[in-house]
Amino acid sequence: MSDAEEIAKAVQSVAQLGDKSLETSQKMGEFIGRVFKEPIAEISGMLTEKLRFTRWKRLVDISDEVNKILNERGVHETRAVPPKLALSIFEESSLEEDQSLQYLWNHLLANAMNPSFNGELRYGFVDMIKNLTGIEVTILNIFYEILKKEGHINDISTITNYNLKKEQIMEIVEIDAESYQISVYNLMRMQCVGPAILKGSGIMMGAEPVTIYKGTDAIVLTPLGVKFIEACIK
């Protein structure tokens, strides 16, 4: 196929896509008009203004909360936040309705602005917050607090030596087995927690002790999970 034929084929594809996009937009416009029984132009304006107002109001609330966090920590001179991180936080947090997740956005931004904060500040934390539920935030927070109380947080290289059992977490968080399983699998997917791997007492396979993979029956907090909690929860 010649260059001219390739270009002609590409132009035709784009034109067809444009036709489909226009057709889809028209169908959506007609549907919205049926829902509200008002001209689409007027309804579109109302929806746009409502969305703008809602997002703007949330951003105002976010600024109040972040300033409060910084004031409580005695931070008066702040540092610049990389645009890639700051813009992502603004975009996502202004759409957030769950207060437990809004808490994470506020603390991530406050820590990013705090020149004294020397923990991890990863762009990946944005995607992690987007994929969490309130239950999962509670599991992470409680796990961290228990390990901190027992003095296990200081040495992050040994953090995976300490585990919590399924029954412990279910009782503390007050959730059923199904909610626990779904939440833990999601936290595992994001590498915030992992399955506990225990060494069998006195059982050897050659020169190595036999290990027992606990799945979701007992889990550990990962180094990434610790850094995420410290950046977004603490």
For the record, the structure tokens of 204 come out as 């050897």
Percent of the chain with pLDDT over 90: 46
> What mean pLDDT comes out for the span 169-184?
95
Asked if residue 156 belongs to a domain, the reply is yes
Residue 170 CB partners (closer than 8 Å, separation 6+): 176, 177, 180
Asked if residue 154 belongs to a domain, the reply is yes
C-alpha 27/C-alpha 30 separation (Å) is 5
**Better-scored residue on pLDDT, 208 or 204:** 208
Among 24-33, 113-122, 130-139, name the one with the lowest average pLDDT.
Answer: 24-33
Task: Look at residues 114, 130, 146 and tell me which one is the last residue of a structural domain.
Answer: 130
Number of structural domains found in the chain = 2
Predicted structure pTM score? 0.72
Q: How many residues does the chain have?
A: 234
Q: Domain of 179?
A: 133-234
Is 195 in contact with 166 (CB distance < 8 Å)?
no
Which of 78, 84, 95, 92 lies closest to 123, judged by CA?
84
What pLDDT does 58 receive? Answer: 83
Amino acid identity at 6: E
